[in-house]
């Protein structure tokens, strides 16, 4: 099972939250994402899975949910999230590989994955994993980077860019950084067992000159209006999709939560500082409030 694992993009030790978001001049991107999320998220619910939660930038936006599982491959990003959000029972911190989600099937009522598919070499595989841990009819909000964005289309037309923005295959413009074609993402979602409920195009005006000269509030309002054309065409660098899981299948049994990412066994036996697999006996450790499902302890 371990031999065919796709490579994982690991933010361990990264100051991404500070350098990219807080000091990186990305107030515009942050605010337009918040608007898209508000439009797509169910107003309330019990349990939400946030895949690629990082340092928890978006987590406070999931107020309507009683409990949120923050999942990230990077342990240090989760530590940052923990110090920002605190260790209340509302938040469950899980370090794990999105290709092998450590949860029993049909557990979550909703999931989000924002700026994360971007790092996935095998996107369809991750989407199948997500569908598996979602309840029938659950909502999945997926953000992806769009290769068919206006800038790429113009650059291609002017022959300043070799790859075509119109073909379905992903483009890896830097190591483990992928942009996707909207139609390819829709097809993968449908194959994984989702139907597309709504699309919003986001960050239309992500250009340094505009961000410098147009007041932030105005730029955000302009993007907010443009988002609503997302079902008709997708030419923005970022796209949000609201997908809905198919209605088939039954719910996870009450009390069952984690499953073994290595062999798929569950329910795991809970010890004070570990979850133990009933099948392969691997021990998955709980360290300082973070469940670590990357390597068995
Ligand atoms: Zn196992």
In tens, the pLDDT along 218-228 reads: 999 999 999 99
CA of 293 to the centre of ligand 1 (A): 11
Residue 289 C-alpha to ligand 1 middle, in angstroms?
A: 21
Decide if pLDDT at 9 tops 90.
Answer: no
Distance from Cα 259 to the centre of ligand 1, integer Å: 8
Ligand 1 centroid, distance to 107 Cα (angstroms): 18
In the reported structure, the alpha carbon of residue 263 is separated from the centroid of ligand 1 by a whole-number distance in angstroms of 4
The answer on pLDDT for 2 being more than 50 is no
296 C-alpha to ligand 1 centroid (Å) = 9
- Using alpha carbons, select from 169, 180, 67, 201 the residue that is nearest to residue 116: 180
Tokens of 237: 């660098």
* Span from the CA of 284 to the centroid of ligand 1 (angstroms): 10
What is the CA(12)–ligand 1 centre distance, in A?
25
Minimum mean pLDDT range among 15-29, 163-177, 243-257: 15-29
Q: Does pLDDT of 210 surpass 60?
A: yes
- The CA 269 to ligand 1 mean position distance, Å, reads 11
Q: pLDDT tens digits, residue range 83-105? A: 999 888 999 999 999 999 999 99
pLDDT score at 286: 96
Q: How far does residue 153's CA lie from ligand 1's centre (Å)?
A: 47
pLDDT of residue 21: 77
pLDDT band at 11 (very low <50, low <70, confident <90, very high): confident
Output 24 or 154, whichever has higher pLDDT. 154
pLDDT in tens, 136-177: 999 999 999 999 999 999 999 999 999 999 999 999 988 999
Cα of 283 vs centre of ligand 1, distance in Å, is 8
Separation of CA 56 and ligand 1 centre (Å): 29
Q: Could you tell me the pLDDT band of residue 3, with boundaries at 50, 70 and 90?
A: low
pLDDT over threshold 90, residue 187: yes
């Amino acid at each position: 099972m371990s031999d065919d694992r796709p490579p994982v993009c690991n933010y361990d030790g990264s100051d991404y939250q500070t350098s990219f978001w807080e000091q990186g001049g990305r107030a515009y991107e942050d605010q337009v994402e918040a608007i898209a999320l508000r439009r797509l998220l169910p107003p309330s619910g019990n349990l939400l899975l946030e895949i690629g939660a990082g340092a928890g930038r978006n987590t406070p936006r999931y107020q309507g949910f009683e409990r949120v599982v923050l999942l990230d491959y990077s342990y240090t990003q989760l530590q940052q999230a923990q110090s920002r959000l605190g260790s209340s029972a509302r938040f469950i911190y899980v370090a794990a590989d999105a290709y092998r989600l450590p949860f029993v099937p049909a557990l979550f009522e909703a999931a989000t994955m924002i700026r994360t598919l971007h790092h996935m070499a095998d996107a369809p595989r991750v989407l199948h994993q997500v569908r598996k841990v979602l309840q029938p009819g659950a909502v999945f909000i997926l953000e992806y980077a769009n290769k068919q964005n206006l800038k790429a289309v113009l650059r291609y037309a002017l022959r300043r860019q070799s790859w075509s923005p119109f073909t379905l295959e992903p483009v890896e413009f830097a190591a483990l950084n992928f942009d996707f074609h909207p139609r390819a993402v829709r097809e993968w979602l449908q194959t994984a067992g989702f139907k597309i409920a709504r699309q919003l195009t986001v960050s239309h005006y992500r250009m340094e000159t505009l961000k410098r000269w147009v007041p932030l509030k105005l730029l955000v309002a302009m993007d907010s209006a443009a988002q609503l054309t997302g079902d008709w065409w997708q030419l923005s660098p970022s796209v949000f999709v609201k997908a809905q899981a198919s209605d088939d299948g039954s719910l996870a049994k009450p009390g069952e939560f984690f499953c073994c990412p290595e062999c798929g066994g569950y329910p795991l036996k809970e010890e004070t500082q570990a979850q133990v697999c009933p099948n392969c006996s691997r021990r998955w450790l709980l360290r300082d409030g973070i469940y670590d499902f990357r390597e068995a302890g």
